[in-house]
Amino acid sequence: MEIIELKQVGNVAKTVFDFLDVSDTTRYEYKQRICLFLWFTKKQGINKNSFLEFKRYLKSRVDYSVSTKNKYLATTRIFLKELHRQGILPVDITHNIKAFSQFKKHKKEGVNEDEIRKLTNYLHELTDDRSNTRLKAIFSFLIYQGLRQVEITRLKVSDVDLVSKTAFIQGKGQDDKEIINLHPVTIKNIELYLKTNKISYGFLFPSRSNKNLNNQITTRGLRQIVTDVLRELEIERSVHGFRHYFTTKLIKNYKGDLLEVARYTRHRSLEMLQVYNDGIKLKQDLPRYYKAFEEVSF
């Protein structure tokens, strides 16, 4: 039984997320993802079981990862709760319906030492022109600072203090900025980049596309710059793989002191760092595991 006409939902669907206290990036992602639920309910409208039925539909989508399914489900949950809050839905149809169970260990490996060596050798050989100094500065923030993509795109020239060797970063989901210490290599590459490109104000890495010239570069634009280099070097890793590398490198060198590592990685909880630590220990223990079956062969 339909409890709300889809036409009524369609009229407010585009504006529901406009009144949420979230970042512009998150709002954009919500608006993109909710289209799947609107498509799913197009024929039958929304009834008291629509959210559960949508979850079952997502479960059947073998082309989606559990992480992707949860993103669609979470977006729809927020959308329906907001409809209920505004009095458009008479009941909260998301009540008592859980998200998909998700394994917390990493599904993908980060960039490894051999790949970092290959990349840094490549960067070292580049001439110091406008584009190449930009590349070196971007990769410095990925390799030596472990910054997230969105954190790099938000950086402004005024956020970087080359004298005190620090920078102010606006982290994921944060309204305020926090200070980080910059590695000497990062400092060197930023100085060269700013001098070569004659940049003294505005965004540290302004967009060079015609549509968005000199404005904040998008995460997609940044990702394209990085993946173009990785593809050329035949390194099959995601951009986020650099943060994995950064975190793993620190945990190994700090002998598992996760509290100290967290000061540099800026993880809000030690739970994720423990996942990294467990993965490192497991790899270190593999020779003992292999040895246990030395006498067994066929």
Residue 171 — pLDDT band, cuts 50, 70, 90?
A: confident
Looking at residue 147, its pLDDT comes to 97
Domain assignments of the chain as residue spans, ordered by start:
2-85, 113-284
The chain-wide mean pLDDT, for the chain, equals 90
Q: Are 226 and 139 a contacting pair, CB within 8 Å?
A: yes
CA–CA distance, 83 with 246 (Å, rounded to integer)? 42
CA–CA distance, 170 with 179 (Å, rounded to integer)? 9
Q: Which CATH class is domain 113-284?
A: mainly alpha
Residues 102-142 pLDDT 10s: 776 655 678 999 999 999 999 999 999 999 999 999 999 99
Residues 232-277 pLDDT 10s: 999 999 999 999 999 999 999 999 899 999 999 998 888 888 988 8
Residue 3 — pLDDT band, cuts 50, 70, 90?
A: low
Residues 18-28 pLDDT 10s: 888 887 878 88
Please choose, from the candidates 227, 271, 264, the residue with its C-alpha nearest in 3D space to the C-alpha of residue 247: 264
Looking at residue 1, its pLDDT comes to 47
- H helices present in the chain, as ranges: 6-16, 24-40, 50-60, 66-85, 113-125, 130-143, 149-154, 184-197, 219-232, 241-253, 258-265, 270-291
In the predicted model, what is the mean pLDDT of residues 56-62? 94
Looking at residue 126, its pLDDT comes to 96
Please choose, from the candidates 191, 185, 184, the residue with its C-alpha nearest in 3D space to the C-alpha of residue 157: 191
- Cβ atoms < 10 Å from Cβ of 84: 16
Residue 145 is given by DSSP the state S
Looking at residue 185, its pLDDT comes to 98
- Strands 46-47 and 2-4, by their bridges, are antiparallel
In the predicted model, what is the mean pLDDT of residues 72-93? 91
| CA dihedral of residues 230, 232, 234, 236 (deg, nearest 10) | 30
Burial 269-285 (b: 16+ CB within 10 A, else e): eeebbeebbebeeeeee
